[in-house]
Structure 1
Amino acid sequence: MDNILLIFLCLLIGLGLQRVAAFPKNGHLALNQFIIYVALPALALYYIPKISISTNLLYPLGIAWIGFILSFLFFFFIGKKLGWSRRLIGCLIITAGLGNTSFVGFPIIQALYGEEGLKTAIIVDQPGSFVVMATFGIITAAIFAKGKPSSKEILLKILLFPPFIAFVLAGAMNVLKYDFNDHLQTVFQKLGATVTPVALVSVGLQLKVEKRSQHWKFLRLGLLFKLMITPLFFFLFYKILLKGKGLDVDVSIMESAMAPMITGTILASNYGLKPKLSSMMVGIGIPLSFLTLIIWYFILNTF
């Protein structure tokens, strides 16, 4: 409950700061840079060395990786057919392809499935959503932000992306079964904990809900894909086709139904991929997801 309250409070703070003359008009840019250069790397350095690698990772890992590919194919082909701009296509691929599997996902999964469910949710988030954001996400943002960058330019953007650097270091530590001392772990945990409140304030600063906005039709399609089509795909794939059963499968499908990822929105905004639309995807998607998650929980308990 605390996390849910924090979500709405931080969004309201961001909305309120829009009306504070003393607050810089582009203040969200500084907040975004703090998230990318400090908070996200800290999150990777805290969690990834602790992940246990096993075959149980396959179902939860597929949520992030397959989900993003599905989003890319869906919006790329629809966007090309309907003549959308590159920035619009890139925005929807990223915001509808990355789920809020941690800050919204963790408390909901823990409430519904307990500590065992939370273990699966962490796998969906850290080697899944987080790594997809730091690799496929940055590649997509670079490609759709401005024309067709060279392979060298894309590679450099990935290699120099702070969360990716932290992921590589943390991944090597995981393989070597090494972790930081307790003091550093506490520091990284506290820095990583700033991701969601700072990101949500940034989203609130950019969120402008205009009744006559041209973004509404794209917002509806983006949220329909993220909240209903994606979990439907995984329900049919995992439950019907693969005949998967058990907690890992149910938690994975519930995580696929989470609202758009907050940091994915920050990534899209940083690259100029329709910042207003990306903010609306989170600002409206999070409260709406609480309703759609009830539907998916009922479906999973019925079948």
Structure 2
Amino acid sequence: MVNSIEVILVPTFMIIVGVLLKYFNILDDDHSSLLSKIVLNISLPALIFINISSSRIEGQMILLPLISFGLSFICMLIAYFYSKLRGYSKIKTWTLIILLSMMNTAFIGYPIVLGVFGNEGLTYAIFYDMAVAILFVIFGIILSTIFGGNKKEVIHNGLTFVPLWAIIFGLIFNIFNIPLGYVLKNSLTYLGNSAIPLIMLSLGLTISFKDFKSYLSDVVFVSFSRLLIAPIILYTLLAGTGFSGLMLQVSVLQSAMPTAMNSLVLAITYDLDVELVSAVVFITTIISLLTLPVIISVL
């Protein structure tokens, strides 16, 4: 049986390949943007659609987005009170709220869950990630109201978010048992299979080694809270209310993911603390390679 370390090493190896491709100037940051567009608009929707349309969907799965929302709200409160104690500005406070509540449940969560729990676990992970995708749009609307911005553009981007439509159409095809046919099924399968390696390569290209000294205390706080405190809180709540099996395992594993890279998009768009966001995304991603095997072993 494959152990948790080996599961983590597979995406880690692909991330390292991305770092090396950038280091040797074979690919650069601009290529990361291109790969991300391919993943978000083609590969990831295909992976999501194929898994949802062909999986056995259980009624309790509808609770997964609610569980994800609930944990994100708890993380927001933690970030808010931490910021209050330190007397941070509104910009710094919202930066920390986003960093702590936005989990990388797709770009890193999908490969890890797939490696540990297989396709059935991936279906659970997709439902859990729905809340994170919606939360991204909600944050965009809130931040555009507070700091200025094009609210209509945010709503438009949310409504045209292809992975979200992949979930909707996947559910329609599943519920009504609509056949895909040989050509469509295999074409989408091939496209979906490209999602994980492209995600990992893209992540490797975005990693930037910068000086974190001025952000050290905040980086430590977010890393500790995001990677350890959040999964402990969720495990305690779910286990205490009778949840078990894949529902519990996938939810807790997803809750232990590093800060989402989409938080950097929000930070750049609304002039938040971009340097802090970059530092946290990088550090939590690296540390998660050590903490995730521990979480997996416990589960």
Q: TM-score category by the smaller chain?
A: 0.7 to 0.9
User: TM-score, normalization: structure 2?
Assistant: 0.77
RMSD: 3.2
Give 1:41 deviation, angstroms.
1.5
User: TM-score, normalization: structure 1?
Assistant: 0.76
Distance 1:27 1:58, change over 3 A: closer
Distance 1:90 1:283, change over 3 A: same
Give 1:224 deviation, angstroms.
2.0
Distance 1:69 1:212 in 2: 27
Residue matched to 1:126: 126
Residue matched to 2:78: 74
| Aligned 8 A contact 2:15 2:200 in 1 | yes
| Aligned 8 A contact 2:128 2:251 in 1 | no
Letter in 1 for 2:294: L
Equivalent positions of 1:136-155 (< 5 A) are 136-141=135-140, 143-144=142-143, 147-149=147-149, 152-155=152-155
Letter in 2 for 1:259: M
Equivalent positions of 1:208-287 (< 5 A) are 208-210=208-210, 212-240=212-240, 242=241, 244=242, 246-248=244-246, 250-252=248-250, 254-260=252-258, 264-265=260-261, 267-271=262-266, 272=268, 274-287=277-290
Residue number among 14, 36, 44 corresponding to 1:10 in the alignment: 14
Distance 1:125 1:14, change over 3 A: same
Give 1:228 deviation, angstroms.
2.1
Residue matched to 1:103: 111
| Aligned 8 A contact 1:99 1:256 in 2 | no
Letter in 1 for 2:203: V
User: Identity over the aligned pairs, expressed in percent?
Assistant: 15
Residue matched to 2:206: 206
Letter in 2 for 1:161: F
Residue number among 90, 102, 110 corresponding to 1:94 in the alignment: 102
Structure 2: give runs of 5+ residues left out of the alignment. Answer: 269-273
| Aligned 8 A contact 2:46 2:166 in 1 | yes
| Aligned 8 A contact 1:64 1:128 in 2 | yes
Distance 1:88 1:159 in 2: 26
Give 1:179 deviation, angstroms.
4.0
Q: Deviations over 1:265-290 (max 9, x none)?
A: 2x234443634432332233233321
Structure 1: give runs of 5+ residues left out of the alignment. Answer: 111-117, 298-303
Distance 2:234 2:88 in 1: 27
Distance 1:57 1:187 in 2: 27
